[in-house]
Chain A
């Protein structure tokens, strides 16, 4: 036990002082968070604005339009129409109830429907008092649409798997054919498994530390409240960490390529999985869910991302159990196969 502890301390120092760790695990996520924040802060605070419509002051329906809450009616003269359509009004209604617009869009569509309604009522040909416009037939259930915020959850999910680099490093240190230190360690009486275990513990702790820094940064510096449900969120992030380290150990022990190649593999895999979970643009995630939903279910980073926003924003824990189960299966499979690779190796060449 003491051995493990001592090993932890030294491996910890080794890892923490590594510039690579400090940058990629600590600073890089903060930089990414800032970028995300900058780009989506404009969109996050959405407000419903009125639609601007232009009409000639003589037009008889102008008083009807003025009654409509969501319309801003501008009195516009025929000659000014072309210019005003550029920025002030979305559409212009002429005396024959025809509409002039400069582009196709939802505002224009809404205006079209309003104008059409007048024509349609004429066609329907029922007495005016039969129309009861005061009725609201709709029972509204509001749900904020905010797909862009997924990028943050996706970033957190990706960063939780960054233990992968430490995992690769640990295996590096205990393999005699991969590093000089590995050779030294192999001839000491210390059991390889103890060394591996302390390495894994250290990797987890350090990455969790890095994750917490990111979370604190997001909450207190960027002032974004992403977490309302702490328990499950914490479990998910810890699972992410386990997965990351397990993946790293697997990559490290499964092949004989050089250190840099393994790191590139780790970066490529995590980046790809994160892209697919919507980190750069949520539309990609939506597209995958539409075209190949099974991929979304087995992508570990997607699992974490999806569950994070579900439990925190949508108050839904329905997929958490399944997610944790799948992640655990991944961890077990990765660790088991790594163990087989690492057992009693005699090396072809050191």
Chain B
């Protein structure tokens, strides 16, 4: 098993590439996962992120702030127009309101009382506008004898409508922890494709060097045996890499595994890895130029990830893009991660497509290796 042994050894000597990608990936995975995870079985009101600057500090303004604070998340902000605009631009805050000094007067006079920074095109603007206007309209409705009756307003606003979350197919699609796993494994597909092509590819350029190949060809190692050992080596390296990422997810969010369909993610990533490995096989039979392999590794991994919805969810991508994406296994991989799977048959289509790609890549690779031999 000499070939196998040395394939592994050379691969491990090239561990720089593998390590860089892996370390950067995990840094971001850890940073991403440090937020809170929510569970949802009941209807949850959407809370906006709102910044409030109160220049009045009266009973009225405090009451408004309490109300808004009950229904939304308050974020820190500064009385600096440029700063506020950037917060809106970056979507750090959905809205920022500034309460003027003469707030009370303005409300009584039914004038523009509050400055609101937001993006008019977004539906979030409706919510905040409704809330503010509702509150102030109620407040004015209680205006009697020169006073507002804020207590009544507060208690009225406590009235709630009952919302029933009807059984749907996407029971847990908004679940915080599901989202984390989904993003984690989606990004894993990007990293795996990049690492497979560049790391395994780099080792293969050594073996495919013209002169080393001569030595190989005249040796008494049987052709079949040689290739078997080499591909076993590739398989072992590939499995190691995929396993590291699977274990990574367990290490980071192990206690939540029971709440998500972990088996789905594992099966999906294993099938995808196989597909990516076959793609690597194809590439290695097309070129042995280190430079081309590096370029392909970056472009293919980034490209397919972008158009398949790894960076930006599939729902935001245009039809044209998705059509092109369907020519790559990543698309089907992401689809499975996005949907709720109750049994294997739900995944059947996506898994079969990925396996189909694997077979196609293999066949194309074999074709190219045969034509290379004839030359």
Contacts and interface: CB of A to CB of B under 8 A. Distances in A.
A38 B306 contact: yes
B102 to A, nearest CB: 13
Contacts of B316: 39-40, 42-43
Contacts of B307: 35, 38-39
A274 to B, nearest CB: 11
B118 interface: yes
A48 B126 CA distance: 9
A144 B303 contact: no
Contact size range, A: 35 or more
A138 interface: yes
Interface in B94-115: 94, 106-107, 110-115
Interface stretch (B291-299, B347-355, B358-366): B291-299
A101 B273 CA distance: 38
Contacts of B85: 143, 314, 316
Interface of B: 16-17, 20, 24, 28, 31-32, 34, 40, 43-46, 82, 84-86, 88-92, 94, 106-107, 110-127, 129-134, 136-138, 140-143, 152-153, 155-166, 168, 170, 173-174, 291, 295, 298-299, 302-303, 306-307, 311-312, 316-318, 321
Interface string A263-304: 010001001100100001110111111110000000000000
Contacts of B114: 137-139
Given A39-B312, A82-B166, A121-B156, A49 B123 contact: yes
A82 B160 CA distance: 23
A121 B163 CA distance: 19
A139 B114 CA distance: 6
Nearest to A131: B141
Given A35-B303, A105-B46, A110-B127, A136 B141 contact: no
A255 interface: no
Q: Is the interface of A mostly helix, strand, loop or mixed?
A: helix
Given A46-B121, A137-B107, A123 B159 contact: yes
B141 A47 contact: no
Contact of B311 (A105, A115, A280): A280
B165 A104 contact: yes
B89 A313 contact: yes
Contacts of B141: 124, 126, 130-132
Given A51-B123, A101-B166, A272-B24, A140 B116 contact: yes
Given A39-B306, A102-B168, A104-B165, A140 B89 contact: no
The 9 closest A-B pairs by CB, nearest first: A124-B156, A145-B119, A316-B82, A139-B112, A130-B141, A102-B168, A106-B46, A109-B46, A35-B306
A99 B88 contact: no
Contacts of A137: 106-107, 110-114, 132-133, 136
A316 B119 CA distance: 18
Given A100-B164, A117-B134, A123-B159, 5 more contacts: A19-B291, A108-B43, A109-B46, A110-B127, A132-B137
